[in-house]
């Protein structure tokens, strides 16, 4: 489906663009309080209205995109950086104790949902965006390890890998030179999915106060602050939620579209 | 089969043990003195020492771990520092909110996903299939706590059908169920969306098999072939996802309980963190992880029950 690829690229591209622009420009200063103009509905001056401190919601959403995307992206890099080598090693050592150890450790991490890891880390080190990254990143490791292992296992059966073995290449070298490039498609698709899950997780963590701390703008915390005012000014709660939904939707559609585009066997059979 | 079960059981025990070590070291093994944190900087040294002895902080770390883990095996989770009651009774009380919430949400997500998945699979490629799939994309992308806020806005504030928060206790069964309705719906929606997609693609995969064609050829209607033959074979991936979803439900419940001010495990854990009631934090986390590990174990057993092939192979 070309359609989902384009819509997905458009939505996630929009979020990335907003985050990048916010580095140099936002309509208003996100830390500037303007109590006189608090809780205003969307208008020409404030496109998406203002919050309970009179801050411009559009500006905060742009700056919040930065936090969300950065946290989720670094968490994906951590997960892939550690998970992929582990998965490749497990596949190369299939059936041996290393494989068993890696896979059982994976199962164990799966028993700790990202939020629970975050709670544990926060209970000891205090809340911060860094701790949110670590918590989501740890949870990403077993996901990438599984995908890499499953993809690599099927490749190890193929003739050209046998040929490489016969020619004297070691398992590590084969994994790096032949296996890794051939599972890149799988990893990219999984990366987009984990990226979108990371954005949801970051929103959840900062909503309960375990993520980025003030004054760093964050979509999750905007929602937490809006909760008490949802009856008098619903737009304050609706806008950040829409930002999350559109970004996550965009990344998911992008992932689906990429999978279909990269794997012709799956065409028209989206899961 | 028996060998497989015994092996799985040992993996289960080992996982629980490693999990308890990880939790304990993370919470208690870091620098910083909980006693001085609780009493503040102006505490008298002898009061501090007394509290440290009372909390067992003067004992070596290994000894404290053995004490904690051994206690849990006998159902003694220790004493909460702030609530001054046994942690076990505290957890049991909160579980009476969290567990029904998770179970209702799980049941709700299955009740939604089963008909939708069957419907979409039977209309594969048509407009109605596309509509259901688009709906599930949206369901996956919506953060459940935001959905919860929208539900409150609509059904609690605007129409006032359900309470916006709080919990009257199980002595008012009807009121308790009403209080759990919106939280359960907001938890169930994203899960139902994922489940629908998994069920649909599993069904479509089995519908392409030869035995379905045979069943159709011998005169079975499309819908009967779908429900009698395809559904049973599509259950394996669905069970896998259900097992995994349980941990997401538990984590989601932690957040949702905070949206609706429900006195469950999720609220307990946040209160315990702010009060630095470490024994409560580590015990609640252990209970959550225990639940996830046991559910995954049960999921593996359920495979064998659903799929005779797995029984024989193992």
Name the nearest CA neighbour of A21 among A69, A75, A55: A69
Shared domain for B136 and B184, answered yes or no, is yes
- B67 falls within a domain: no
Q: Report the residue of A109, A117, A121, A123 to disrupt the B interface, i.e. the one with the largest count of B CBs within 10 Å.
A: A123
Residues B127 and B199 in one domain: yes
Do residues B52 and B135 share a domain? no
Q: Say yes or no: B24 and B121 in one domain.
A: no
For residue range A148-162, list pLDDT tens digits in order. 998 898 888 888 888
- Domain assignment present for residue B148? The answer is yes
Tell me how far apart the alpha carbons of residues A142 and B44 are, in angstroms, rounded to a whole number: 47
- Give the pLDDT confidence of B18-62 residue by residue, as tens digits: 889 988 888 876 666 667 766 666 777 888 788 777 777 777 888
Q: Extract the tokens encoding A124.
A: 């000891």
CATH code at position B258: 1.10.3720.10
Of B26, B137, B270, the CB nearest to A252: B137
Question: Which backbone phi and psi does B79 adopt, to 5 degrees?
Answer: -110, 135
Minimal C-alpha gap between B200 and chain A (Å)? 8
Are B10 and B102 contained in the same domain? no
Q: Does residue B65 belong to any structural domain of this protein?
A: no
Do residues B112 and B199 lie in contact, with contact meaning Cβ atoms separated by under 8 Å? no
Expressed as residue numbers, the domain containing B14 is 2-60
Encoding tokens for residue B56? 């067992």
Q: Confirm whether B31 is domain-assigned.
A: yes
Mean pLDDT confidence for B93-102: 91
Helix axis angle, B231-259 to B144-151, nearest 10°: 70
Instruction: Report the C-alpha gap between B52 and B49 in whole angstroms.
Output: 5
Task: Find which of B146, B241, B244 to mutate to test the A interface (most A CBs within 10 Å of its CB).
Answer: B146
Cβ distance of A111 and B292 shorter than 8 Å: yes
Report the pLDDT value the prediction gives residue A269, as an integer from 0 to 100. 47
Whether B80 is in a domain gets the answer no
CA distances from A40 to A29, A37, A54, B279 (A): 16, 6, 8, 45
CB contact at 8 A, A181 and A209:
no
Q: What per-residue confidence (pLDDT) applies to B116?
A: 93
Where chain A has pLDDT below 70, the residues are: 1, 123, 264-271
pLDDT of residue A42: 80
As for how many domains chain B has, the answer is 2
Query: Which residues does chain B have within 8 Å of residue A204's beta carbon, measured at their own beta carbons?
Result: 143, 145, 255
**Are B217 and B111 in a shared domain?**
yes
**How high is the pLDDT of residue B196?**
93
Percent of chain B past pLDDT 90, that is, above it, reads 21
Residue B306 lies in a domain: yes
Residues B119 and B51 in one domain: no
- Out of A32-36, B201-205, B232-236, the most confident range is B201-205
Least confident of B79-83, B136-140, B152-156: B79-83
Identify the structural domains of chain A with CATH numbers, from first to last. Answer: 2-19+46-270 (1.10.3720.10)
Helices and strands, number each (H, E), in chain B = 14, 0
What tokens were used for A104? 């059982």
- Is residue B200 in some structural domain? yes
Task: Give pLDDT, residue A270.
Answer: 45
| Rounded Cα distance, A73 and A15, in Å | 13
Residues B18 and B101 in one domain: no
Q: Same domain, yes or no, for B170 and B293?
A: yes
Residue of B nearest to A105 (CA): B15
From B37, B60, B83, the end of a domain falls on: B60
Please tell me whether residues B211 and B264 are part of one structural domain: yes
Task: Name the residue facing A227 among B32, B149, B254 (closest C-beta).
Answer: B149
Instruction: Say if residue B165 is in the same domain as residue B53.
Output: no
- Mean of all residue pLDDT scores within chain B: 84
Asked if B53 and B99 sit in the same domain, the reply is no
- Torsion angle in degrees (nearest 10) through CA of B109, B110, B114, B116: 0
Chain A residues whose CB is inside 8 A of the B27 CB are 120, 123-124
Does residue B117 lie within any of the structural domains? Answer: yes
Residue B78 scores a pLDDT above 70: yes
């Amino acid at each position: 489906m070309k359609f989902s690829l384009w819509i997905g690229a458009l939505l996630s591209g929009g979020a990335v663009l907003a985050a990048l622009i916010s580095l140099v420009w936002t309509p208003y200063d996100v830390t500037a309080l303007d109590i006189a103009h608090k809780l205003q509905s969307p208008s020409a001056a404030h496109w998406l209205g203002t919050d309970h401190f009179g801050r411009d919601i559009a500006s905060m959403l742009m700056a919040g995109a930065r936090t969300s995307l950065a946290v989720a992206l670094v968490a994906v890099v951590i997960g892939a950086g550690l998970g992929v080598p582990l998965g490749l090693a497990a596949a190369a050592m299939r059936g041996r104790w290393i494989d068993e150890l890696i896979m059982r450790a994976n199962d164990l991490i799966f028993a700790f949902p990202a939020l629970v890891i975050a709670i544990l880390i926060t209970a000891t080190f205090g809340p911060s965006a860094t701790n949110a990254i670590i918590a989501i990143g740890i949870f990403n490791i077993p996901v990438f390890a599984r995908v890499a292992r499953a993809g690599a296992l099927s490749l190890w059966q193929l003739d050209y890998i046998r040929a490489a073995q016969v020619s004297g290449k070691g398992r590590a070298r084969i994994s790096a030179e032949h296996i890794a490039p051939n599972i890149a498609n799988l990893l990219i698709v999984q990366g987009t999915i984990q990226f979108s899950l990371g954005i949801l997780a970051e929103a959840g963590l900062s909503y309960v106060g375990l993520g980025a701390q003030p004054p760093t703008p964050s979509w999750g915390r905007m929602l937490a602050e809006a909760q008490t005012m949802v009856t008098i000014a619903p737009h304050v709660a609706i806008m950040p939620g829409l930002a999350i939904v559109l970004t996550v939707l965009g990344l998911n559609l992008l992932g689906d579209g990429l999978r279909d585009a990269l794997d012709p066997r799956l065409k028209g059979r989206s899961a | 089969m028996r060998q497989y079960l015994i092996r799985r059981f040992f993996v289960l025990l080992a996982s629980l043990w490693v999990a308890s070590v990880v939790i304990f070291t993370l919470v208690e093994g870091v620098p910083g003195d909980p006693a001085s944190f609780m009493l503040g900087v102006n505490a008298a040294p002898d009061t501090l020492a007394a509290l440290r002895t009372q909390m067992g902080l003067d004992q070596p770390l290994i000894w404290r771990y053995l004490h904690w883990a051994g206690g849990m095996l006998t159902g003694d989770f220790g004493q909460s520092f702030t609530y001054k009651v046994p942690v076990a009774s505290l957890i049991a009380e909160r579980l009476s909110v969290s567990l029904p919430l998770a179970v209702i949400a799980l049941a709700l997500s299955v009740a939604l996903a089963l008909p939708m998945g069957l419907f979409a699979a039977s209309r594969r490629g048509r407009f109605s299939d596309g509509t259901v799939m688009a709906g599930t994309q949206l369901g996956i992308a919506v953060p459940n706590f935001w959905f919860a806020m929208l539900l409150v806005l609509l059904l609690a504030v605007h129409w006032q059908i359900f309470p916006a928060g709080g919990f009257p206790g199980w002595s008012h069964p009807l009121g308790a169920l009403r209080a759990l309705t919106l939280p359960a719906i907001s938890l169930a929606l994203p899960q139902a969306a994922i489940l629908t997609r998994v069920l649909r693609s599993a069904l479509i995969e089995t519908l392409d098999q030869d035995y379905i064609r045979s069943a159709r050829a011998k005169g079975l209607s499309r819908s009967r072939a779908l429900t009698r033959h395809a559904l049973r074979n599509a259950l394996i991936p669905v069970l896998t996802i259900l097992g995994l979803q349980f941990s997401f439900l538990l984590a989601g419940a932690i957040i949702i309980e905070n949206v609706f001010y429900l006195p469950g495990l999720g609220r307990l854990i946040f209160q315990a963190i702010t009060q630095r009631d470490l024994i409560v934090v580590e015990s609640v986390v252990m209970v959550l992880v225990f639940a996830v590990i046991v559910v995954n174990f049960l999921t593996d057993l359920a495979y064998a029950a659903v799929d005779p092939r797995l029984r024989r192979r193992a």
